[in-house]
Amino acid sequence: MKIIVKDSAADASAAVADMLLQQIGKKQDSVLGLPTGGTPLGVYARLREAYRNGQGSYKFLTTFNLDEYIGLSSNDPESYAAYMLENLFGHVNIDISRTHVPRGSALDAETEAARYESLIAAYGGIDLMLLGLGRNAHIGFNEPGSPHNSRTRRVALTQSTLDANAAYFPAGAVQPSHAITMGIGTILECRKIVVLATGQGKADAVAASVKGPPSEDVPGSALIRHADITIVLDRAAAANLDYAQTRELEA
């Protein structure tokens, strides 16, 4: 495990964007796993800016998003499919047919989850997975209690996650209570994992995930088993880590 601590959230996002650009540069047909939510917005902004400045080509990429709300179609403005189009895909030269998000409007969520799992395998797995970390240490929508060998599946969202995501829905909108998410076991099969966490609100989740031991009560703790994982933090998110854990890993 490599931990990188940056002075600010902006600096941490820039570092992660550089890692993605490096991956694309060395393998133009990379398969990437991508998150949504507030944490990666700075990363996607950096990628858009880099593309406008002639850096990075997305033409041959394949992407798989971590999750999607059940009950929302890809055309719904609150869907993660719409989020990706607004924040990244609509601004770069990516082939939309090679961008994959679970179909939240599928009639049978479990069948859709199985299809998505098989599709990831058909593409040879994911080269680099970018993750955020929830305040309760969830990864994707794998909430506390999720088995570390879990696969893509239908899940119920905890109240804390619903509360955290409520800001992304307009007043009066009905917020979905379930989602389709890649499982922790699916995530751990990715060849490289990069985790971005910023802000004081993530400090407890970061410490619980990094210090271990692995526990189903702390989904993020499963990641310490991975052979190639980099965790990028700002100083606020790293506040509860011991100095000895981070002093030689700062950049």
* Catalytic entry in 67, 68, 117, 127: 67
Percent of the chain with pLDDT over 70: 96
Give pLDDT, residue 32.
98
How would you label 2-16 residue by residue, b for 16+ Cβ within 10 Å and e otherwise? ebbbbeebebbbbbb
* Catalytic entry in 11, 65, 136, 148: 136
Q: What CATH number is given for 2-246 in this structure?
A: 3.40.50.1360
pTM over 0.85: yes
Active site residue 143: yes
Delimit the domains of the chain by residue range: 2-246
- Does position 160 have pLDDT exceeding 50, yes or no? yes
Active site residue 163: no
Select from 161, 158, 141 the least CA-distant residue to 150. 141
| Residue-wise pLDDT tens digits, 67-93 | 999 999 999 999 999 999 999 999 999
* Catalytic entry in 100, 138, 148, 226: 138
Report residue 247's pLDDT band, with 50, 70 and 90 as the boundaries: very low
| Residue-wise pLDDT tens digits, 13-42 | 999 999 999 999 999 999 999 999 999 999
Distance, in Å, from the CA atom of 47 to the CA atom of 43, rounded to the nearest integer, reads 6
* Catalytic entry in 11, 68, 117, 143: 143
- Does position 238 have pLDDT exceeding 90, yes or no? yes
Residues contacting residue 109 through CB under 8 Å, at least 6 positions apart: 70, 154, 178, 180
Active site residue 136: yes
- Does position 251 have pLDDT exceeding 50, yes or no? no
Q: Which residue has the tokens 């007043």?
A: 171
Active site residue 68: no
Provide the mean pLDDT of the chain.
93
Give pLDDT, residue 243.
58
